[in-house]
């Protein structure tokens, strides 16, 4: 171990290699619930891409497992280290290298937080539109999990907004993929392959992000419906209208209660409506023109009223921000409420009612409490599972995932598989696909050092 420490600290410098008691608690976990923290043998904090590549090369030679960490805000344990392993923390590589207003891209290091990036882009009237709930999340972590968020209905997810990467391979090379352009057909798209690979193929050391003009005006409509079926029926009509919503979320009645209570939020929904409504639809619009926004908001309001909404509330800016913010923090509300697990199955959005019917049945069969909200426009359902018994909870998660897959969905829309769901992923995925993915993994990482236990056992 002393030899390994010497080699690693020779790469990053002694002050940037931690071992033993010098390793703080924070490095031992991400935000995956019901996961035991694990302190790694080493934490390296590289200062540049070359050091990352050298660390990987050394780890490959020494057979040391490597886990990458951005801000540690992941939900599936993909940043939870191995006891005998090396954690590479990107905290020192957090620079915004360039905001290129001619090509509409930002070039950043992986450790930069979405919050810092947004503050800088705002100065240029630009926005990087990927908004997962947690703004302390790092771009590198977002690349790892292919993070999504509420604006995916309009702008897509991480993979739709990252144009290129610099990445360190486990074999020690640094490669550049993609570039400051939105299209290329020049060999395999390594950018897209690395995005969402949860630190198992290569580590991004730089990212070229597509940025957009920042729209100055936003408007939000809140519509309570009797149930989720009605919400699901309304969603395609909103999309078909061509109004191009920025956000299209559903929140079930219980979750709405929890998040508004937690945020002390008054939305003006009268008691008699609240009592009868089991599902809310939140539609946020944006526009470069205040007049057009007002027209669009009115149009959506009328459309929803015609589609069975019990009422339609146009939220003022402050209430809207608070609601969106509260929705973004639904995870924390669930955590405080004692959630033992959070999942984010994705299904074709029209199958939302059928899926939720299965969810209710699975919850009932297993005497488990399951509540949620989700990205109605994307079919991405976030569910909090409250069940202390480990075995029962395992069965519930398995059955929920299976229900999603049977409806043409997938285990995770944006959180990733991580250490948490790898076993279920392997059990529920076509073996031909798993084998192929394993061969791709080996093509990148012949020594198998990158995040063992994630995606493969």
Does 408 help bind a copy of itself (rule: CB under 8 A)? yes
Assess 306 for contact with a copy of itself (CB under 8 A). Answer: no
Residues 58-117, interacting with a copy of itself (CB under 8 A) = 100-105
Stretch of residues binding a copy of itself (CB under 8 A), selected from 34-42, 80-88, 112-120, 143-151: 143-151
Please write down the HEC assignment for all residues of the chain.
CHHHHHHHHHHHCHHHEEEHHHCCHHHHCCCCCCCCCCCCCEEECCCCHHHHHHHHHHHHHHCCCEEEECCCCCCCCCCCCCCCCEEEECCCCCCEEEEECCCCEEEECCCCEHHHHHHHHHCCCEECCCCCCCCCCEHHHHHHHCCCCCCHHHHCCHHHHEEEEEEECCCCCEEEEECCCCCCCCCCCHHHHHCCCCCCCCEEEEEEEECEECCCEEEEEEEEECCHHHHHHHHHHHHHCCCCCCEEEEEEHHHHHHHHHHHCCCCCCCHHHHHHCCEEEEEEEEECCHHHHHHHHHHHHHHHHHCCCCCCEEECHHHHHHHHHHHHCHHHHHHHCCCCEEECCECCHHHHHHHHHHHHHHHHHCCCEEEEEEECCCCEEEEEEECCCHHHHHHHHHHHHHHHHHCCCECCCCCCCHHHHHHHHHHHCCHHHHHHHHHHHHHHCCCCCECCCCCCC
Residues 110-139 interacting with a copy of itself (rule: CB under 8 A): 125
Is 298 among the residues that bind a copy of itself (CB under 8 A)?
Answer: no
Choose the binding region for a copy of itself from 113-121, 238-246, 366-374, 390-398 (rule: CB under 8 A).
238-246
Q: Which is nearer to a copy of itself, 43 or 165 (CB)?
A: 165
For a copy of itself, the binding residues in 177-196 under the rule CB under 8 A are: 177, 179-190, 192-193, 195-196
Residues 341-360 as x/- pattern, contact with a copy of itself by CB under 8 A = -----xxxxx----------
Residue 347 Cβ, how far from a copy of itself at the closest point, in Å? 7
- Say whether residue 402 binds a copy of itself (CB under 8 A): no
Q: Candidates 34-42, 253-261, 356-364, 403-411 — which segment interacts with a copy of itself by CB under 8 A?
A: 403-411
Segment contacting a copy of itself by CB under 8 A, of 153-161, 220-228, 277-285, 333-341: 153-161
383 lies in the binding site for a copy of itself (CB under 8 A): no
Q: Which is nearer to a copy of itself, 224 or 416 (CB)?
A: 416
Based on the shown chain and the rule CB under 8 A, indicate whether residue 367 belongs to the binding site for a copy of itself. Answer: no
Q: Which residues ranging from 201 to 220 are in contact with a copy of itself (CB under 8 A)?
A: 201, 213, 215
Candidates 379, 382, 400, 452: give the one binding a copy of itself (CB under 8 A).
Answer: 379
């Amino acid at each position: 171990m002393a030899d390994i420490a010497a080699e690693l600290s020779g790469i990053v410098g002694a002050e940037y290699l931690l071992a033993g008691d010098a390793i703080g608690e924070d490095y031992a976990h991400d935000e995956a619930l019901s996961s035991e923290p694990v302190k790694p043998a080493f934490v390296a904090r590289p200062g540049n891409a070359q050091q990352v590549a050298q660390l990987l090369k050394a780890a490959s030679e020494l057979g040391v497992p490597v886990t990458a960490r951005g801000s540690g805000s992941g939900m599936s344990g993909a940043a939870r280290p191995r006891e005998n392993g090396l954690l590479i923390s990107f905290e020192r590589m957090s620079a915004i290298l360039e905001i290129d207003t001619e090509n509409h891209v930002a070039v950043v290091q992986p450790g930069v937080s979405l919050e810092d990036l947004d503050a800088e882009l705002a100065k240029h009237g630009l926005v990087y539109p990927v908004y997962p709930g947690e703004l302390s999340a790092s771009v590198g972590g977002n690349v790892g999990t292919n993070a999504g968020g509420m604006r995916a209905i309009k702008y897509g997810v991480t993979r739709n907004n990252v144009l290129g990467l610099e990445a360190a391979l486990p074999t020690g090379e640094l490669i550049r993929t993609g570039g400051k352009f939105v299209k290329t057909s020049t060999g395999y798209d390594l950018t897209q392959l690395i995005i969402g690979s949860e630190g198992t193929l290569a580590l991004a050391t730089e990212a070229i992000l597509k940025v957009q003009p920042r729209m100055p005006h936003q408007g939000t409509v809140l519509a309570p419906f009797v149930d989720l079926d009605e919400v699901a029926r309304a969603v395609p009509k909103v999309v078909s209208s061509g109004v191009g919503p920025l956000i299209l979320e559903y929140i079930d009645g219980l979750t709405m209660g929890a998040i508004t209570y937690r945020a002390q939020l008054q939305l003006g929904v009268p008691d008699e409506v609240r009592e009868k409504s089991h599902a809310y639809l939140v539609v946020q619009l944006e526009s470069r023109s205040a007049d057009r926004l007002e027209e669009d908001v009115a149009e959506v309001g009328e459309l929803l009223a015609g589609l069975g909404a019990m009422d339609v509330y146009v939220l003022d800016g402050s209430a809207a921000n608070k609601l969106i913010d509260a929705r973004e923090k639904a995870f924390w509300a669930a955590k405080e409420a004692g959630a033992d697990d959070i999942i984010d199955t994705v299904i074709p959005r029209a199958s939302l009612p059928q899926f939720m019917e299965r969810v209710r049945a699975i919850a009932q069969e297993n005497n488990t409490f399951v509540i949620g909200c989700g990205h109605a426009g994307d079919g991405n359902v976030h569910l909090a599972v409250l069940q202390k018994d480990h075995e029962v909870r395992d069965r519930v998660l398995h059955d929920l995932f299976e229900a999603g897959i049977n409806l043409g969905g997938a285990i995770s829309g944006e959180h990733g598989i991580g250490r948490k769901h790898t076993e279920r992923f392997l059990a529920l995925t076509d073996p031909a696909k798993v084998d192929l993915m394993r061969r791709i993994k080996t093509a990148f990482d012949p020594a198998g050092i990158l995040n063992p236990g994630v995606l493969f056992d």
